[in-house]
């Protein structure tokens, strides 16, 4: 699967999206109210209509919204793909919200957003797309990998907001929004401002105060990855690593860059192989660096569990 870049391009042009000139307030529609969960759907998916589209963009000010465009008429089977996206988003526990757009029912949205084909997925944050459009239907495994990569990059940028479950969200108008844990606010603010050194220092304070705080430890590990890779040139780093396969510093830099680029398994495999062919102080340095990358990704991640097994085999 091609890695999708995480960026913040220009705002969506909504000039082509018009609300109906007249819509009887009491007209029965049989559909869900704006922002309500889909019938029988997960707690973190919403059927997007012309009426609630602006609300979904507002939702993206809290945490990313994954828009999935589907059409039974134009692409039979794309509805099942939309359901797969909703199911995978459910496992993110509020880090993402799936917005499912049936362009047969809401062609205005597809026109306003210039959707060239279906199925198509787009991630929105702060009312703006933060990935290139992702056409076609990905497998569940590919979706899990993609959303896992997105979650890592959100953490690295200090974005920690979560959506409320649709089944228990506060009614519209109530002054209640999900907030990030205030303990991490200083570190996350530093990341958001691009002050990596301060972010490392703030996370280090949290870890020193409570070594059992796994979220702080993960934040510190990721901040250190960002710290080590500041100003690094990927192509130069890869060339240096290729020329010196047993140079721990060269190999660990490429592993850091791979991790940030979403190539998590490549980063782990590179360092496991380095551990296997080094010894003494160099082996310890490579192993400790790999353990730091495990912490950055999260000890419950399947890739980390596999990486730990491979590391054990390399050591023993």
Indicate which CATH number applies to the domain containing 81.
3.40.30.10
Domain closes at, from 168, 199, 218: 168
Task: With respect to residue 8, please indicate whether it lies within any of the assigned structural domains.
Answer: no
Length of the chain (residues): 316
Task: With respect to residue 18, please indicate whether it lies within any of the assigned structural domains.
Answer: no
Residues 129 and 58 in one domain: yes
The reported pTM is 0.48
Task: With respect to residue 25, please indicate whether it lies within any of the assigned structural domains.
Answer: no
Residues 238 and 132 in one domain: no
Which residues span the domain enclosing 191?
181-230
12 close to 129: Cβ distance less than 8 angstroms: yes
Q: Going residue by residue through the chain (316 aa), what tens digit of pLDDT does each one get?
A: 444 443 333 333 333 343 333 333 333 333 333 343 343 346 899 999 988 888 888 888 888 999 999 999 999 999 999 999 999 998 887 889 999 999 999 998 888 888 899 999 999 887 788 778 899 999 999 998 888 888 777 777 667 778 888 754 444 444 444 455 688 888 888 887 888 999 999 999 999 998 888 888 888 998 999 999 988 898 999 999 999 999 999 999 999 998 887 888 999 999 999 999 999 999 999 999 999 999 888 877 888 999 999 999 998 8
For residue 95, the 8-state DSSP code is S
Using CA atoms, how far residue 214 sits from 210, 227, 299, in Å, is 9, 20, 9
Indicate which CATH number applies to the domain containing 308.
1.25.40.10
Residues 211 and 152 in one domain: no
Residues 238 and 279 in one domain: yes
Most distant CA pair in the chain: distance in Å?
A: 76
Residues 240 and 298 in one domain: yes
Instruction: Give 128's strand partners.
Output: 125
Using CA atoms, how far residue 23 sits from 17, 26, 29, 134, 144, in Å, is 16, 9, 11, 33, 39
274 close to 286: Cβ distance less than 8 angstroms: yes
Give the pLDDT confidence score for residue 177 in this predicted structure: 44
Task: With respect to residue 128, please indicate whether it lies within any of the assigned structural domains.
Answer: yes
Number of domains, the chain:
3
Residues 263 and 290 in one domain: yes
Q: From CA 268, how far away is CA 119, in angstroms rounded? A: 33
Residues 124 and 92 in one domain: yes
């Amino acid at each position: 699967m091609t890695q999708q870049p995480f960026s913040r391009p220009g705002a969506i042009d909504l000039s082509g999206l018009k609300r109906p000139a007249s819509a009887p307030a009491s007209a029965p529609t049989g559909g869900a109210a704006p922002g309500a969960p889909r019938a029988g759907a997960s707690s973190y998916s919403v059927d997007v209509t012309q009426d609630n589209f602006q609300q979904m963009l507002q939702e993206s000010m809290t945490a990313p919204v994954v828009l999935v465009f589907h059409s039974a008429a134009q692409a039979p089977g794309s509805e099942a793909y939309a359901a797969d996206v909703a199911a995978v988003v459910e496992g993110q526990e509020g880090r993402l919200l799936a917005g499912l757009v049936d362009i047969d029912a809401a062609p205005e949205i597809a026109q306003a957003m210039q959707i060239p084909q279906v199925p198509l997925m787009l991630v929105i944050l702060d009312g703006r797309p933060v990935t290139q459009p992702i056409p076609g239907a990905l497998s569940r495994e590919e979706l899990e990998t993609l959303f896992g990569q997105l979650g890592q990059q959100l953490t690295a940028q200090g974005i920690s907001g979560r959506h409320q479950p649709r089944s228990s969200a506060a009614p519209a108008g109530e002054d209640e929004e999900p907030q990030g844990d205030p303990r991490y606010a200083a570190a996350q603010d530093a990341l958001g401002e691009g002050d990596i050194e301060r972010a490392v220092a703030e996370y280090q304070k949290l870890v020193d105060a409570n070594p059992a705080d796994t979220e702080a430890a993960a934040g510190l590990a990721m901040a250190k990855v960002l710290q080590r890779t500041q100003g690094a040139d990927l192509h130069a780093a890869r060339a240096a690593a290729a020329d010196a396969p047993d140079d721990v510093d060269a190999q660990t830099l490429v592993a850091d860059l791979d991790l940030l680029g979403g190539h998590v398994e490549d980063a782990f495999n590179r360092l496991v192989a380095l551990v296997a062919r080094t010894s003494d102080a160099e082996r310890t340095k490579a192993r400790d660096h790999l353990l730091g990358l495990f912490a950055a990704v999260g000890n419950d991640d399947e890739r980390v569990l596999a990486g730990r097994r491979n590391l054990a085999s390399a050591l023993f």
